[in-house]
A and B are shown apart, each in its own frame.
Chain A
Amino acid sequence: MADIPSPGAGGRIIRWIDYRLPFVGMLQHELYEYPTPRNLSYWWNFGSLAGIMLVVMIVTGIVLAMQYTPHADLAFDSVERIMRDVNFGWMLRYAHMNGASMFFAIVYIHLFRGLYYGSYKQPRELLWILGVVILVLMIATAFMGYVLPWGQMSYWAATVITNLFSAIPWIGQSIVTLLWGGFTVGNPTLNRFYALHYLLPFVILAVVLLHLIALHRFGSNNPLGIDMKGPQDSLPFHPYFTIKDLFGLSVFLLIYAFFVFYAPNFLGSSDNSIPANPMQTPNHIVPEWYLLPYYAILRSVPNKLLGVIMAFGSIFLLFIVPWLDTSPVRSARFRPIYKWVFWLLVIDVVALGWVGANPPEGLVVTVGQIATLYYFVHFLILFPVIGKVERPRPLPVSIGTAVLEPSRRTPLGGAGAPIAKP
Chain B
Amino acid sequence: MPKHLLAAAALIAAICAAPLTSGVAEEMPPLPRQEWSFFGIFGTYDRAAAQRGFQVYKEVCSACHPVKHLYFRDLTDLGYTEDEVKAIAASYQVNNEEANDQGQIYQRPARPSDPIPGPFPNNQAARAANNGALPPDLSMIVKAREGGPDYVFGLLTGYKEPPADFKMLTGMYYNEYFPGHQIAMPPPLNDGAVTFADGTPATVPQMAHDVVTFLTWAAEPNLEPRHRTGFKVMLFLVIAVGIFYATKRKIWATAH
Contact of A371 among B11, B136, B179, B237 (CB under 8 A): B11
Within 8 A of A (CB), among B1-40: 1, 4-5, 7-8, 11-12, 14-15, 17-18, 21-22, 24-25
B79 within 8 A of A: no
A265 within 8 A of B: yes
> Could you tell me if B244 and A246 are in contact, using CB atoms closer than 8 angstroms?
yes
Known: A344-B8, A354-B18. A257 touches B244 (CB 8 A): no
Q: How far is the CA of A359 from the CA of B18 in the complex (A)?
A: 11
Flag if A421 contacts B8 (CB, 8 Å).
no
Whether A261 pairs with B11 at a CB distance below 8 angstroms is no
Q: Is B144 an interface residue (CB 8 A)?
A: yes
CB-contact partner of B237 in A235, A254, A362, under 8 A = A254
Q: Give the number of residue pairs across the A-B interface with Cβ within 8 Å.
A: 125
Among B81-89, B101-109, B201-209, B221-229, the stretch in contact with A: B221-229
> CB of A422 within 8 A of chain B?
yes
Stretch at the interface among B44-52, B167-175, B183-191, B245-253: B245-253
Q: Per-position contact with B for A80-92: 1 when CB-CB < 8 Å, else 0?
A: 1001100000110
CB within 8 Å of B: which A213-243 residues: 235, 239-240, 243
A23 to chain B, nearest CB (A): 27
B255 within 8 A of A: yes
Verify B252–A257 contact, CB threshold 8 A: no
**B230 partner residues in chain A, CB cutoff 8 A:** 257-258, 260-262
In the assembled complex, the CB of A384 is this many whole angstroms from the nearest CB of chain B, namely: 17
The answer for the CA separation of A26 and B172 in the assembled complex, in Å, is: 73
Q: A219 to chain B: closest CB distance in Å?
A: 17
CA of A77 to CA of B137 in the docked complex: distance in angstroms? 13
A367 is an interface residue with CB less than 8 A from chain B: yes
Band of interface residues on B: 35 or more
What is the CB-to-nearest-CB distance from A27 to chain B, in angstroms, rounded to a whole number? 20
| Given known A84-B221, A367-B14, contact A244–B144 (CB-CB < 8 A) | no
Q: Which of A84, A265, A348, A358 has the most CB of B within 10 A?
A: A84
Chain A residues positioned under 8 Å from B253 (CB to CB): 421
Write out the residue numbers on chain B whose beta carbons fall within 8 Å of the beta carbon of A420: 256
Q: Which residues of B contact A340 (CB under 8 A)?
A: 1, 4-5
B74 proximity list for chain A (CB < 8 A): 84
Q: Is the CB of B17 within 8 A of A363?
A: yes
Q: Is the C-beta of B125 less than 8 angstroms from some C-beta in chain A?
A: no
Residue of A nearest to B249 (CB): A422
Q: Does A288 contact B (CB under 8 A)?
A: no
CB contact under 8 A between A270 and B22, given known A84-B221, A258-B234, A340-B1:
no
Q: A90–B226 contact, CB under 8 A?
A: yes
A341:B4 contact, CB within 8 angstroms = yes
Residue A404 lies at the interface, judged by CB distance under 8 Å to chain B: yes
List chain A residues, Cβ under 8 A from B8. Answer: 343-344, 347
A94 CA to B225 CA, complexed, in Å: 13
Q: Does A417 contact B (CB under 8 A)?
A: no
Q: Is A283 interfacial (CB-CB < 8 Å)?
A: yes
**Residue in contact with B252 in the complex, picked from A84, A262, A354, A422, CB distance below 8 Å:** A422
Q: A270-B148, A340-B4, A343-B8 are in contact. Are A244 and B248 (CB under 8 A)?
A: yes
Smallest CB separation, B124 vs chain A (Å): 13
Contact between B14 and A261 (Cβ–Cβ < 8 Å)?
no
Question: Once bound together, how far apart are the Cα atoms of A251 and B18, in whole Å?
Answer: 32
User: Which residues of B sit under 8 angstroms from A94, Cβ to Cβ?
Assistant: 226
A323 within 8 A of B: no
* Contact of A90 with B248 in the complex, beta carbons under 8 Å: no
Q: Assess whether A271 is interfacial by the CB under 8 Å rule.
A: yes
B234 touches A270 (CB 8 A): no
In the bound assembly, the distance between CA atoms of A265 and B256 in angstroms comes to 45
Q: Which of A379-417 contact B (CB under 8 A)?
A: 403-404
Expressed in whole angstroms, the Cα–Cα distance for A235 and B74 within the complex equals 57
A251 in contact with B241 (CB, 8 Å): yes
Q: Is residue A3 contacting chain B, with contact meaning CB distance below 8 A?
A: no
Q: Do A247 and B244 touch across chains, with their CB atoms under 8 A apart?
A: yes
Question: Contact: A274 with B140, CB < 8 Å?
Answer: yes
Known: A270-B145, A359-B25, A361-B25. A257 touches B237 (CB 8 A): yes
Residues A362 and B17 in contact in the complex (CB < 8 Å), given A243-B248, A261-B227, A344-B7: no
Query: Whole-angstrom distance between the alpha carbons of A213 and B150 in the complex?
Result: 52
Contact between A84 and B244 (Cβ–Cβ < 8 Å)?
no
What distance in Å separates the Cβ of B240 from its nearest Cβ neighbour in chain A? 4
Cβ of B146 within 8 Å of any chain A Cβ, yes or no, is yes
Q: A161 at interface (Cβ–Cβ under 8 A)?
A: no
Contact A257 B234 (CB under 8 A): yes
Judge whether A247 and B248 touch: CB under 8 Å: yes
Docked-complex contact A262 and B41, CB < 8 angstroms: yes
Is B245's CB under 8 angstroms from A271's CB? no
| B residues 210-242 touching A (CB-CB < 8 Å) | 219, 221-222, 225-227, 229-231, 233-234, 237-238, 240-241
8 examples of A-B residue contacts, CB within 8 angstroms: A235-B255, A247-B241, A258-B234, A273-B140, A348-B11, A354-B18, A358-B18, A403-B256
Known: A80-B69, A247-B247, A270-B143. 13 other contacts (CB 8 A): A84-B222, A94-B226, A243-B252, A254-B237, A261-B231, A264-B226, A270-B148, A273-B144, A347-B8, A347-B12, A348-B11, A358-B18, A361-B24
Query: Interface of A with B (CB < 8 Å)?
Result: 38, 77, 80, 83-84, 90-91, 94, 235, 239-240, 243-244, 246-247, 250-251, 253-254, 257-258, 260-262, 264-265, 270-271, 273-274, 283, 337, 340-341, 343-344, 347-348, 350-351, 354, 358-359, 361-364, 367, 370-371, 374, 403-404, 420-422
Give the A-binding residues of B (Cβ under 8 A). Answer: 1, 4-5, 7-8, 11-12, 14-15, 17-18, 21-22, 24-25, 41, 69, 74, 136, 140, 143-146, 148, 179, 219, 221-222, 225-227, 229-231, 233-234, 237-238, 240-241, 244-245, 247-249, 251-253, 255-256
